[in-house]
Structure formats: structure tokens, C-alpha cells
Amino acid sequence: MKALGTEILARCKNPWFLISVFLTAGSLWTGLGTGSYDLLPGTGVDGGALMEEACTASLNLLCLPLLAALPASSAARKELASGAFRNVLFRCGTRRYLMSRVLSLLIVAGLAQFIGLLGFALLVSLSGQFIFPLPLVASRMLCAMGLALVGSAGALLVRDTVCAYVMPVVLCFSMSMLQARFWLEAKYLDLLVWLSGDPVEIGVLAGLVLVLSLGYGAYLYREVRRNV
């Protein structure tokens, strides 16, 4: 637990965490387009409709993959490249090291989105309502966790920290293009569908994140053994 807490605190102090939080709130506001005028005080617009529109806007297709990877997806690759992981392994052991890196990656990615959504909800409250729909929040956090895992695994696989940010964006954009051009009925290839807050999709997302976490942990263990 100490190793996990230390890692989470270190990632939250990283400037990229704060940048991800602010850009999340900003991208949600930008995603409203002309609907952002409804945020003016006294407009009386439905805050829930604004939240749903922002969370499922097409801008999220490009912004969310990058924002999910910013806080911590390159951390594992940087530790392996610099050899800094050896000191941690000596102090806490391999099992705790792997658990702390996987869990911290998930928590930090999800936390950045949660705080960003909260900030946007406070902005929406200027219209007269404070709306914070948990299904939409859960969907976005789980998507961010999965994309953060993809980015970190990509960086380890290619051995390049830049891939931590590129991989999630390329994956989401490619899946969306395939769905739009060739497989119109395969709606789940579109990231925006997963952000809708549907209870069934939330359950599937949770299972997918669990599978990705186990796979990422196994691959990280392989890379650690390879570099020790």
C-alpha cells in the first residue's frame, strides 16, 4: 500500500496530471459548440442535457485518448529505460511493484477525468443546476483507464515513450473510421458509444479494463524480468 500511495502521489504532483484535468474540463466545454452559450447564468437550460451532450461530443474521439494517457502512461517505460525501477524492486519486491504500477496507472487516469468532469459540472452549474450523472462519469473514467493501459503497453512494446500518447489516439481513430466506412453495424468500434453511460456497456467496460489490466501486468512483468 505504501508503494501504491507513493506512486499515486508522485503522478498527481506531475504537471501533466493538472494539465490533463484542465484540458478535460476545457474539451468538454468546447465539445458543446454553440451550446456553450447556454452556460451563461440565468439561462435555465437543462444541465443534464448539457452534460450528456459534452460527454458524447465527437471531440472526445480525439481528446479523451490523449488526455487519458497524459498523467502516467509513459511512466513505466521511463522507469525501465532509466533503470530507476531497480531501486523500487529492491525495496518492495516484484509483486508489489507490479501491483502499484498497474493500479496507480488506473487510478490516476480515472482520477484526472473525474476531477475534470467535476470542474465542468461546476461550470454547468452557472446555468442554475449542478448535475453530475454517475453513469456518464463511470463510462468516461473506465474508458480513460482502458486507454491509459493501451498507451502504456504500446510504449513498452515499441520502447518509445511517445507511443504512450500516440497509440490510444490511433486506436480510437482507426476503430471509428472502420466502423463509419466498412462495418456500420459494429457500433461498439466507436468510442462515443462507450461514453453514453449505458449500464450494460459500463459492465462490459469494467470487464474489459480488468482483462487489459491483467494482460498489461503480465507484459510489464516480462519487461521487468528482461531488464533486471
The per-residue pLDDT for range 185-210, each reduced to its tens digit, is 777 778 888 888 888 889 999 999 99
Q: Read off the pLDDT band of 40 (50, 70, 90).
A: low
Overall number of domains in the chain: 1
What's the pLDDT at 191? 82
What's the pLDDT at 148? 94
Lowest mean pLDDT among 36-40, 73-77, 223-227: 36-40
CA distance 169 to 105: 17
Q: Identify whether the C-beta of residue 3 lies closer than 8 Å to the C-beta of residue 96.
A: yes
Phi and psi at residue 31, to the nearest 5° = -65, -20
Q: Quick: pLDDT tens for 116-132.
A: 999 888 887 776 677 78
Domain enclosing residue 33, as ranges: 2-227
Handedness of CA 48, 54, 60, 63 (dihedral sign): negative
Retrieve residue 37's grid coordinates. 452559450
Q: Identify whether the C-beta of residue 109 lies closer than 8 Å to the C-beta of residue 71.
A: yes
What's the pLDDT at 35? 60
Read off the pTM.
0.89
| Apex 122 CA angle, 47 and 106, nearest 5 | 105
Is 80 exceeded by the pLDDT of residue 216? yes
Return all residues near 185 (Cβ < 8 A) that are at least 6 apart: none
CA distance 41 to 176: 36
| Apex 167 CA angle, 95 and 203, nearest 5 | 65
DSSP 8-state class, residue 128: T
Mean pLDDT of 72-94: 79
Is 80 exceeded by the pLDDT of residue 184? no
DSSP 8-state class, residue 74: T
Q: Read off the pLDDT band of 214 (50, 70, 90).
A: very high
